[in-house]
Amino acid sequence: MLYQIYEFSHAAVAPLRQAAVASRDVLRNPANPFAETLGARATAAAFEMFINATRRYAKPEFELNSTFVDGVETPVDERIVARLPFCDLLWFRREGAEERNDPPVLIVAPMSGHFATLLRGTVQAMLPNHEVYITDWRDARNVPFGEGRFGLDEYIDYLIEFAQRLQEWHGERAHALGVCQPGVPLFCSASIMAQNDDPARFASITLMGSPIDTRVSPTEPNRLASTRPLGWFRDNVITTVPWPHSGFMRRVYPGFLQLSGFMAMNLDRHMDAHIKQFRNLVRGDGEPAAAHRKFYDEYLSVMDLAAEFYLETVDQVFQRHLLPRGLMTHRDRPVEPDAIKDVALLTIEGGRDDITGLGQTEAAHVMATSLPSARRKHYVHPEVGHYGVFNGSRWRRDIQPEVAAFIERSRDRG
C-alpha cells in the first residue's frame, strides 16, 4: 500500500501545484505593476518552492554534445548500442575520432537510486582520450514484471556481456571503471571471466570508493545496513509497483524512500540550501538560484531498484561480507579473485569519504593474490570525499590523469 499512498498523495496535490504555477507566473509577469515589490517577489518565491517540493523530477540528460580531441572541439553523439531489460549501454561516439584507436572504457554507474547522469563529470573527463561507454540502468518501475528478476547474478551477467561486446567491437580487451556500489559486481565479473579464461576479460578494472570489504573502517551508512536484520528491510522498504506503471506488480525499493534517506543523512545542509534559495529568489539573484535548481534537478531525480538486487546487496555486501570472506558465488559457483592474473587493478579512495571508509576499496588487492605487483596500484586523494572521487575539480585535475595513465599502461591491443 505504501507506493499507492505515495501515488495518491502526488495526484491529490496536483491541482494545488498547478494553481501555484499559475499564481507564480502572474506575480512575475512583467505586465504586473506590483511584480517588483517585495511582497510579490516573496510570494512568487514561496510558490516556486512549493512547486519544486511537490513535482516529479524526470530523468536528466547527459547533455554532452562535444568534447576536445587534440585541442579540437569534436561533436559527440550519444547512442544506445545495446539494450537489456534493466540496462541500456550508451556509447558517446566522438565524430571522426575512430582512427585514433583510443582504448574502450566501460563506466559502470551505480545502481543506487540516482541515474547514470550523476557521472556526467566522470564521462566528460574521460571523453577526450577514450571510447567511452556507460551503463544506463533503467528505473525498475518501468521494467515489465515478465522480464524476470534482477539481482547480483544478473548484474554480473550484464557486465560480462558488455565486456564481450566491447571486445568484439574494438578488437581489444576493454577497461572498466566502477564507481562506488558497482565495485563488488565488477570485481566479481573480472574474477569469473578470469576463471573462464574468457578472451574478452577486462584489460583493467578501476574501483573507485567501492565497498569491497565494509568491515574495514565502517561508516554510518555501513552501520545502518548492518544493525537491522534483513527481514526488517524486506518488510519496511520493499513495496510493489502499482498500476499503471509498466513494472506493475514488480517488487522494488522505491526511489521516494531512497530520497528520504539521502535527505535525512544531511538534513541540515539541505534545509540551509533551500533557505538560501528562497532568499535568492526574493532578491532575484539568478545565478545562484539557477545553480541550486541544476543541482536539485539531478539530486531529486531518483529511480526504483529491483528488490532482489537491493536485498542481496544489503545481505551479501554489508551484512555477511561474502566477497572478502571468500564465500561469494555467481550462479552457485564460487567467485575466485585469485584467478585474476592479467586484469590490472587500480583502486581509488578519498581521504574524506564518509560513505566508503578508507581501506574498503583497497581490500580488493588482498583478494587478488595472483596479480603481479606491476599490474596493481592503490591511490588515495587526501582532500576529497565520496563524490569528489569521481566528480569535480580534483577528479579532473588529479584523479582522472591517474586513471588514464593506468589504462594506457594496461592496454592489451590483441
Query: How many residues would you count in the chain?
Result: 414
pLDDT digits (tens, 9 = 90+) for 183-214: 999 999 999 999 999 999 999 999 999 999 99
89 vs 109: CA distance, rounded Å: 11
Largest separation between any pair of C-alpha atoms in the chain: 76
Banded model confidence at residue 238, pLDDT cuts 50, 70, 90: very high
Banded model confidence at residue 277, pLDDT cuts 50, 70, 90: low
Half-sphere exposure of 252 (CA within 13 A, CB side): 34
Q: 381: which residues sit within 8 A by CB, 6+ positions away?
A: 348, 349, 350, 351, 388, 389, 394, 398, 399
Place of cell 531512497: 258
pLDDT digits (tens, 9 = 90+) for 28-58: 888 888 778 877 777 776 767 666 666 676 7
The predicted structure's pLDDT at residue 51 = 64
Residue 270 has pLDDT above 90, yes or no: no
Mean pLDDT (whole number) for 3-14 = 67
167 vs 70: CA distance, rounded Å: 25
The predicted structure's pLDDT at residue 18 = 82
Place of cell 582512427: 99
Which cell numbers in the block locate residue 163? 565486456
The predicted structure's pLDDT at residue 225 = 83
Q: Which residues pair with 347 in a beta bridge?
A: 207, 378
* Packing angle of the helix pair 267-283, 286-299 (nearest 10 deg): 140
Mean pLDDT (whole number) for 343-356 = 95
The answer to whether the Cα torsion of 259, 264, 266, 267 is positive or negative is positive
The predicted structure's pLDDT at residue 217 = 92
Banded model confidence at residue 408, pLDDT cuts 50, 70, 90: very high
- For the ranges 11-15, 21-25, 206-210, the lowest mean pLDDT is seen at 11-15
What's this model's pTM, rounded to 2 decimal places? 0.89
Among 67, 58, 94, CA closest to 79: 94
Instruction: Show the DSSP H helices in 171-266 as ranges.
Output: 183-195, 220-226, 230-236, 255-265
CATH architecture of 66-222+305-409: 3-Layer(aba) Sandwich (3.40)
pLDDT digits (tens, 9 = 90+) for 300-337: 678 899 999 999 999 999 999 999 999 999 999 999 99
pLDDT digits (tens, 9 = 90+) for 103-114: 999 999 998 878
The predicted structure's pLDDT at residue 373 = 95
When comparing pLDDT for 57 and 378, which is higher?
378
The predicted structure's pLDDT at residue 4 = 66
Question: Phi and psi (nearest 5°) for 244?
Answer: -105, 20
239 vs 249: CA distance, rounded Å: 9
